[in-house]
């Protein structure tokens, strides 16, 4: 039995199922997790990439990605993988608040997928080159999500 409620969190970060059911399920198990101060699930680049791929495959729309990112970002018992903490935090913040950054579109998803895949394809230390932001003159036109330095 899942006495600490990690199964609903795993389903949420993997986006396995209907988003409203996933968020309802995590809310329902929150009281069981309240006793535990440690995160139960680690959010990794492959979780973010899989979510973006759902949109690109037409299995979800961009507004659902926004809702999913909000749910993951504001869940206290989801930890962000330390090796990719800056990148994943930026991903969650930008995707969950498009009103502050750029609207989430298929093109934004394609760019994020490229950045996320580059972060995992590169070995530790070389990931910085894969995340080099565009030149300042290209930023406004490209509206590319900018990974952390």
Which residue positions in the chain have pLDDT lower than 50? 1-4, 33, 125-149
pLDDT for 138: 36
CB atoms within 10 A of CB 30: 15
Residues 6+ apart with CB under 8 A from 51: 15, 60, 65, 68, 69
The model's pLDDT over 8-51, given as tens digits with 9 standing for 90+, comes to: 899 999 999 999 999 888 887 765 545 555 558 999 999 999 99
What is the 3 state secondary structure string of 91-110? HHHHHHCCCCCCCCCHHHHH
The residue count for the chain: 149
Residues 108, 102 contacting (CB under 8 angstroms): yes
Residue 80 pairs in a beta bridge with 43
Residues 6+ apart with CB under 8 A from 10: 16, 41
Please spell the DSSP secondary structure of 45-101, one letter per residue. Answer: HHHHHHHHHHHHTTSS-HHHHHHHHHHHHT-TTEEEPGGGHHHHHHHHHHHH-TTTS
């Amino acid at each position: 039995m899942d006495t600490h409620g990690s199964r609903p969190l795993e389903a949420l970060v993997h986006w396995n199922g209907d988003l409203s059911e996933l968020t309802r399920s995590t809310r329902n198990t929150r009281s069981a997790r309240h006793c535990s101060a440690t995160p139960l699930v680690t959010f990794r680049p492959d979780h973010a990439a899989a979510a973006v791929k759902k949109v690109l495959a037409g299995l979800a729309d961009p507004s659902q990605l926004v809702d999913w990112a909000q749910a993951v970002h504001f869940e206290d018992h989801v930890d962000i993988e330390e090796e990719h903490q800056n990148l994943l935090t930026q991903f969650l913040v930008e995707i969950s608040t498009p009103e502050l950054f750029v609207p989430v579109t298929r093109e934004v998803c394609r760019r994020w997928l490229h950045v996320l895949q580059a972060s995992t394809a590169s070995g530790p230390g070389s990931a910085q080159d894969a995340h080099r932001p565009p030149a300042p003159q290209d930023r406004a036109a490209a509206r590319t999500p900018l990974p952390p330095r």
